Amino acid sequence: MNLFLLHGFLGRPSDWEAVKASLPPVSNLRIYTPDYFKDDELNSVHGFDQWAENFNDWVYDETKNTGRNVIVGYSLGGRLALQALAQNPTQWFKALLISTNPGFDDNLRHFDPSSEQRRQRWLNDSYWAEEFLKAPWDMVMRNWNAQPVFGGGSEPVRLEKDYNREFLSLALTRWSLAEQQNMRNIISALRQKVMWMVGEKDEKFVSMTQSLHHQTGLDYVVAPDASHRVLFDRPREVAEKIKQILQQLS
């Protein structure tokens, strides 16, 4: 069994330590926590489609196509995990997507300035891309964490020395929601493979997930007393969901 854990924007492999510590011992389980911002083939130089192809090739090389693969993605990592699942569904047994946006509910595959919601998102992400590239780090962190979507959830301290700011900037445009296709049809077709998780206090994403459930029939769970940052607010609940998935492989 192979478990792949994808961190979010500003994330690091160490973000998963509390989750891994809460997992029960499982024989023949290999856990991968790629630092995709630092890998030449997986960083944000690559757009969604190329990234998904590169990532699935990397998974194949790492596992030598032995054992079944489970992918867990948090926030941006969840959106990237969706791309990997869509690119090669047969490579993945299950996917757990945490605080993940399935994309705008339209028929577009990429950014189109004629779409007002995509245009507004592109402008917002472009603003943040410029901030992460050039503004003082402490100020960017303070302003980034003050966004309403995070709703006061916990987050590890992020130090500038741990990042390539150009890659962070590129991630905000190359992997912008404005560039992400609507994944609802894919989720519906693969709903037996997909499970969603969202924080109880994350009202926007709870509403989005409930709508997604009605549209696609996917299973979802609400983490109690958690914000958008479920990974940090409720790592034991995340581990419990992963454990349930792994039990299906036993």
Domain CATH number, residue 166: 3.40.50.1820
Strand order in the sheet with 30-32: 30-32, 2-6, 69-74, 94-98, 194-199, 219-223
pTM over 0.85: yes
Predicted confidence at residue 113, as pLDDT, reads: 84
- pLDDT tens for 45-56 read 999 999 999 999
Q: What percent of the chain has pLDDT over 90?
A: 85
Count of domains forming the chain: 1
Predicted confidence at residue 250, as pLDDT, reads: 65
Amino acid at 8: G
Q: Find how far residue 5's CA is from the centre of its chain.
A: 9
Instruction: Tell me the C-alpha distance between 173 and 216, whole Å.
Output: 28
Spell out where the chain has E strands: 2-6, 30-32, 69-74, 94-98, 194-199, 219-223
- pLDDT tens for 97-151 read 999 999 999 988 888 888 999 999 999 999 999 999 999 999 999 999 998 888 7
Residue 97's domain spans which residues? Answer: 2-249
